[in-house]
Structure 1
Amino acid sequence: MQQNKGIDKSQMISFAVLCLVLFGFMFYFQNKQSKEEQVKAQEQKTEQVKNAVKQTQASNINPNVTSGAIQTASLSNKELNVEFSSLGGQVSKVQLSEYKAYDHKTDKADLPLYLIDKKNSNYGFQFKDKTGKVINTKDLVFTPAVNGNAVTMTATYNNAVIQFIYTLLPKYTLDFKVRTKGLAAVTSDNKADFIWDYSVRNLEKGRAQEQSHSEFSYAFNNYKDYDYDGRTEMSEEKETLNWIGVKQQFFSSVIEAKNGFTQSKGNQEAIEEGEYLKKLNFEGFVQMTGSELNQDFTWYFMPLDLPLLKSYDKNFDEILPLGWSFIGWMNRYFFMWLYSVIAGWGLSAGWVIFLMTIIVKLILSPIMYKQHKLSAMMKVIRPEIDEVNAKLKDADPMKKQQATMEIYRKAGVNQMAGCLPALVQIPIFYALFRFFPNYIDLRGQGFWFAKDLTAYDDLIKLPFKIPFLGDHLSVFALACTIVILIYTVMTSGNMQQPQQEGMPNMKVLMYIFPITFLFFLNTSASGLSWYYFVSNAINILIILVIKYVILDEKKIHAQIQANKEKPKSEGKFQKKMREMMEKAQNQQQIQEQQKKKK
């Protein structure tokens, strides 16, 4: 008799003990973390004075400007604190009041969250005067005037007046109007070059993950079309961009031009370490009428929250990288909806993910049942396959394969049915790969020893760096790897090994996969690792229930014998495979005959 290479009752007990140990380990560190949080001192909040205008030093900003000549003005509402610099008349500081940034020194998200600070953003309008000299507004010194929720920045150049009028509005919006008077006497240009240099600040724990999500985003064709660019260079010479933005993992800085940017181009460069992740440069032209620059713009400094992004009706929701086509649909209309419904019950984020996993498994349970029933059927007919392989030991490999397929056909076993669960789970995996690191409701949500489910947990810190792994080990990733290995042991017992020489051992490849998975998950969102830990633990329990409670091998054997007595109708796939094998076998026979003639 063929021995069962699956899992026996002693292995069941071992698995249960392992799960208890892992959960005990997790609860221990959850309690440890809660004690640390109890002794944390409350952060002292600093109040920013609304509509304040103050003097700041100009040294090291522009060597042509006298020290002490630079002024700043500020506006605030419940969402944004915005500061403006008289040098260039531009936004010099943007704080999102309702969010915090991660502090690598304290390993906590307790810093004020600034999208713009320390001169990481610099923009201006460039044109030539009639002598050919290049003028850029970012080099001019403006005079600020505050009136309610608006700041007017005024500068003069050769008697021409240039005004930037900023108005702070709700929903993370800053209206930006450019008005000039007398500029036509200075320049003959019919368009101005808008140049924006922006360095992305590191706001999250997972540097590599946040860096990979930092890129250009833009809309065109009257807001209908959207594109993004994470490559070295971007070029949209033929399109008129409605808005251009720099997207980060959870936030975005966007400028909208009411009449669009033309001949747009940009480049970006990754920064390997330090306070910044990427340096991006954008350049696009805006129209001038009669050599006067009178254009309307809007700045948005916003969190990537899907309902908020949709509310603007400017295609901003495409900034959120939830995946293309069906993948994005699953995230938008299923996973986000499911998470919000369960979170509404008052559960913590980790337990919400736990229940999400169970619900997804219940939906997929009919497919899993068919998969394991097929596995049981293949186990029953394994002695016949081994017998055929023994008889045709010295025969042509093609004949062995044909004989094996004939056994499957007579038994009513469709091997392709076993691929269906894997094919179904591929889009689900990719959807969740996009969901966990980008869903802002999960940002900052801790669970046990993971302080943020959108970043990795680094409970086990290493004194050195391992290539592709980093300087830490994620406990969630380790736990996930262990249960995947157990699942692999349970499901690889009935796998037929290749009979041809030189073919790879599939079992070995299956055992290597979980190890490589560790390298992938170690720096990924811990929410993803937690989901797949629960998912594979449930897979193991389902296998045990199906194997020991639902499926009866005697009944399956009887069903196979009954299938053998029935007249067989060859399916399209089986027919195609048979014809391909027969053709290959005929070609092989012809080649052998030609060799004998030689």
Structure 2
Amino acid sequence: MQENNGVDRKQIILFMIFSLVMMGGMFFFQNRDAEKQAAIEAQKPATTQSDNLTTKPAAFSNLNDSVKTTAIQEIQLKNNELTLHISTLGGQISKVQLNEYQAYNPLTDENDLPLMLLDKNNSSYGFAFKDKTGKTFNTKDLVFNANQNGNTITLEHRGNGAIIQFIYTLTDKYTVDFNVKTQGLSNIVADNKAEFQWNYQAKSLEKGRSQEQTHTEFGYAFDNFSSYDYDGRTTMEEPDETLNWLAIKNQFFTAIIEPQTGFKNSSGFQDTVEEGEYLKKFNFSGNVDMAGSELNQNFKWYFLPLDLKLLKEYDKNFDEILPLGWSFIGTMNRWFFMPMYNIIASWGLTAGWAIFLMTIIVKLILSPIMFKQHKLSAMMRVIRPEIDEVNEKYKDADPMKRQQEMMSVYRKAGVNQMAGCLPALLQIPIFYALFRFFPNFIDLRGESFWFAKDLTAYDDVIKLPFHIPFLEDHLSIFAIACTAVILIYTMLTAGNMQQPTAPGMPNMKVLMYIFPITFLFFLNTASSGLSWYYFVSNAINILIILVIKYWILDEKKIHAQIQANKAQPKKEGKFQKRMREMMEKAQEQQRQQQGQIQKRQDKNKKK
């Protein structure tokens, strides 16, 4: 056996000669290919830096190819109201700051942060096209070259003989003109439409996450700006309508995109974010028309505070974005509460005292009705012994008969029970209007009063070391105070309430005492302005009850009036007559049913 002592000297020499030959050949052919390629390139027309396309003739360059050749930049546009940053990546508006407003800072519990509606890549939009190979490309993946002239920026991307231009012009106030122009795109795209896609994460800008999240939603107009709809839940589908504009709103601010010819076959989705910097995630897609497979259309962006007067100036139905309530509720806010507050505030009062005076004015307007209600309560106290006597006398009788006798007592005494329902019915639309008014009225945003730093959010002076469902991690002083006065008011009025005598009926007094407690859970996370209003309102109610009871209404005179009414019974009203006839008919039907049951029982006994 031959011993292996390593590599032979001849093998080493042959390996070195072979390597030199291979390296020389590679160098020779590489130079020939380079000379040939240089000759070909010399015959081609000159290209710009943005001609960074893939080798496929029908497709635009991808993002990686673009970034290799062009650096991504952000260009600033600014006026008194807005500061914009426009990125050459996608040709998009990447940052929007509203210069006259500030955002809530949870670290300082103040509105002292720059109010950035768009920031940190929370918004991405672009136009998606389908090329002739069936693939889709989107302008938000392209890198553009930029040229700025004053408050106008022209962004341009070239590829495969096609040119896409985005031209942004920051006009006065809150409007940005966004013009899209293409040339040669018809040689690449396969159809005559482009799909506008917008992905947006709504930032938290206010104190009170749950309230702000509730007011963050889609909004859109159609029917030539005359109709408006919104969606605060999950999906929005508008396959048949042409949208004149689309808005994504927060509690006090909104971003709106308006296409020249509208969005068609629109759809969107929103998903709630449970915690962190963002409130909800939105995505939207809608088709825009192309002429001759070219996209030449004007758009407008609006970045607006939700100020009613400002929104009306645009005459595009933007004021509907402000959620003041439907129909009569919204009308009450627009034409009564807002103007009244503005007039009072113009006297130089702070927001809290303006709300105080507003409450008194509302109470004065409702005072005639409130007086009738309290007079009715006094009359009910006077005839209480007679009502108790009827209940005792007919406690074992048919409930329908007992109810008829009680109505007879009311009628003879001249007491109209329905009159007490009117103030309560009037309070419902007023309550709902104010429920919409306080958290959506931008003039109250950031306005402090006593321990409340912002009347559109809750006060949280009392912080809890733990989280309670519905109450969260704090107790609102205004909410506690409002609950206390509602409880006192209930104690003063519950004595007049008739207790149910039928078995199984709930005790209304107990329910009335439970209501103020549940009110605490509702108000604790609501706007402190609403709690302050209802604290003042119910405190005035208590004062009215005491004044009427001890200085205005004399129960002896009321008793004498009731006795006089009994001596001269009042004519039965239409409603009372209808109720009596209905009860008599029901009582007759009940007697017939009982008679039939008795006959069947007797017949069975005979068998």
Give TM-score scaled by structure 1 length.
Answer: 0.89
Q: Within the alignment, does 1:215 sit opposite 2:214 as a pair?
A: no
How many angstroms apart in 1 are the aligned matches of 2:260 and 2:135?
28
Which stretch of the first structure deviates more once superposed, 308-317 or 183-192? 183-192
Aligned to 2:540: 538
Aligned to 2:572: 570
How many angstroms apart in 2 are the aligned matches of 1:393 and 1:71?
86
Aligned residue among 175, 178, 181 for 2:177: 175
Q: How does 1:413-428 map to 2 (within 5 A)?
A: 413-428=415-430
Aligned to 2:337: 335
Find the residue that maps to 2:439 and give its secondary structure: helix
> Shift of the alpha carbon at 1:65?
4.9
Aligned to 1:403: 405
Aligned to 2:494: 492
Find the residue that maps to 2:437 and give its secondary structure: helix
> Shift of the alpha carbon at 1:567?
4.0
State which structure, 1 or 2, has the greater radius of gyration over its C-alpha atoms. Answer: 2
Aligned to 1:439: 441
Give the paired residue count.
Answer: 538
Find the residue that maps to 2:85 and give its secondary structure: strand
TM-superposition CA deviations, 1:185-232 (whole Å, max 9, x none): 111321100000010000000101111101111011111111111121
Q: Within the alignment, does 1:548 sit opposite 2:550 as a pair?
A: yes
Aligned to 1:310: 312
How many angstroms apart in 2 are the aligned matches of 1:469 and 1:64?
53
TM-superposition CA deviations, 1:19-38 (whole Å, max 9, x none): xxxxxxxxxxxxxxxxxxxx
Which stretch of the first structure deviates more once superposed, 182-191 or 163-172? 182-191
Consecutive unaligned residues of structure 2, counting only runs of 5 or more, are 1-61, 602-607
Task: Letter of the 2:99 partner, please give it.
Answer: S
Structure 1 contact 72–144 (Cα < 8 Å) conserved? no
Aligned to 1:205: 207
Structure 2 contact 80–173 (Cα < 8 Å) conserved? no
TM-superposition CA deviations, 1:236-283 (whole Å, max 9, x none): 111111100101100000000111111111000000000000001000
How many angstroms apart in 1 are the aligned matches of 2:395 and 2:292?
89
Consecutive unaligned residues of structure 1, counting only runs of 5 or more, are 1-60
Aligned residue among 294, 315, 334 for 1:292: 294
Give TM-score scaled by structure 2 length.
Answer: 0.87
CA 1:591–1:64 in 2, change beyond 3 Å: closer, same or farther? Answer: farther
Task: Letter of the 2:511 partner, please give it.
Answer: L
> Shift of the alpha carbon at 1:596?
2.4
How many angstroms apart in 1 are the aligned matches of 2:311 and 2:92?
25
How many angstroms apart in 2 are the aligned matches of 1:199 and 1:206?
18
Aligned to 1:30: none
Q: How does 1:52-67 map to 2 (within 5 A)?
A: 65-66=66-67
Find the residue that maps to 1:70 and give its secondary structure: coil
CA RMSD of aligned residues (A): 1.2
Structure 1 contact 372–546 (Cα < 8 Å) conserved? yes
Q: Within the alignment, does 1:119 sit opposite 2:121 as a pair?
A: yes
Find the residue that maps to 1:378 and give its secondary structure: helix
How many angstroms apart in 2 are the aligned matches of 1:400 and 1:559?
25
Aligned to 1:133: 135
Aligned to 1:162: 164
> Shift of the alpha carbon at 1:308?
0.4
Aligned residue among 233, 236, 239 for 2:235: 233
Task: Letter of the 1:539 partner, please give it.
Answer: N
Aligned to 2:583: 581
- Higher RCO by CA contacts (8 Å cutoff, separation 6 or greater): 1
Task: Letter of the 2:587 partner, please give it.
Answer: Q
> Shift of the alpha carbon at 1:561?
1.1
Find the residue that maps to 1:166 and give its secondary structure: strand
Aligned to 1:275: 277
Task: Letter of the 2:414 partner, please give it.
Answer: G
Find the residue that maps to 1:273 and give its secondary structure: coil
Task: Letter of the 1:70 partner, please give it.
Answer: I
Find the residue that maps to 2:490 and give its secondary structure: helix
Task: Letter of the 1:477 partner, please give it.
Answer: A
Query: Runs (4+) of structure 1 moved beyond 6 Å?
Result: none
CA 1:64–1:361 in 2, change beyond 3 Å: closer, same or farther? Answer: farther
Find the residue that maps to 2:244 and give its secondary structure: strand
Which stretch of the first structure deviates more once superposed, 392-401 or 351-360? 392-401
How many angstroms apart in 1 are the aligned matches of 2:82 and 2:527?
28
Find the residue that maps to 2:73 and give its secondary structure: strand
> Shift of the alpha carbon at 1:394?
1.9
> Shift of the alpha carbon at 1:64?
5.7
Structure 2 contact 395–501 (Cα < 8 Å) conserved? no
Task: Letter of the 1:438 partner, please give it.
Answer: N
CA 1:63–1:544 in 2, change beyond 3 Å: closer, same or farther? Answer: farther
Task: Letter of the 1:518 partner, please give it.
Answer: L
% identity of equivalent residues = 72
Structure 2 contact 216–249 (Cα < 8 Å) conserved? yes
Aligned residue among 249, 269, 284 for 2:251: 249
Q: How does 1:388-537 map to 2 (within 5 A)?
A: 388-537=390-539
How many angstroms apart in 2 are the aligned matches of 1:248 and 1:203?
8
Find the residue that maps to 2:452 and give its secondary structure: coil
Aligned to 1:376: 378
Aligned to 2:21: none
Aligned to 2:192: 190
